[in-house]
Amino acid sequence: MVDTVQFSLIGIDSLVAKLEAVSYDVKRKGGRAALRKAAQVVADKAREGAQKLDDTATGRSIAKNIALRWNGRLFKASGDLGFRVGVLHGAKIAKKGNPDEGDSGPTPHWRFFEFGTAKMAANPFMRKALADNISLATNTFITEYEKAIDRAIRRAAKAAK
């Protein structure tokens, strides 16, 4: 049931050339900030899609439960940078009844919208947020990363004087 999205980056030769001039430590710091901004684009689009699905009659909001988190496990295991965009509370369902806990209350029903059920067709908002905005997120990453590298080069040149 997992969908994959594949893409390739073309035209980032200037970025690769600048990377060679910067130390590993600066690459990681600038890359993390740039990746966060790119992931924020996807999270914002997911919130927009979730707002269309939210029931205003209840206090719970899928859009307010969409979160952006650093993927420390990926970084520790492989050294790769990563952020996760998802819905908080997972599949948490109240044991008795269905108390309305307000905006940030559990919204396990988001899965029914995203993946569908036997009686309901899927109306994905998370996968669509990434698939429809992959070029915008990629461009955001490239521009923010180039800015970070330019700042690092200026700092290094200033420190060398």
Q: Is residue 144 part of a domain?
A: yes
Residues 6+ apart with CB under 8 A from 41: 133, 136, 137, 140
Q: Would the pTM count as exceeding 0.85?
A: no
| Residue 8 counted as domain residue | no
- The count of domains in the chain is 1
The parent domain of residue 58 ranges over 23-90+102-160
Note whether 148 and 18 are within 8 A (CB).
no
Q: Average pLDDT per run of 10 along the chain, which is 161 residues long?
A: 68 72 72 94 94 79 90 91 87 62 72 87 90 94 90 76 68
**Residue 97, domain member (yes or no):** no
Which token pair is 75? 């970084």
Residue 4 belongs to some domain of the structure: no
Residue 103 DSSP one-character state: T
Q: How confident is the model at residue 35, as a pLDDT?
A: 94
* Residue 13, domain member (yes or no): no
Q: Are 124 and 114 in contact (CB under 8 A)?
A: yes
56 within a domain of the structure (yes/no): yes
Q: Residue 14: inside a domain, yes or no?
A: no
12 occurs within a structural domain: no
| Kind and range of the H or E run holding 85 | strand 83-87
CA distance 149 to 143: 10
Q: Determine the pLDDT at residue 8.
A: 72
Amino acid identity of residue 22, one-letter, is V
Distance CA 26, CA 22 (A): 6
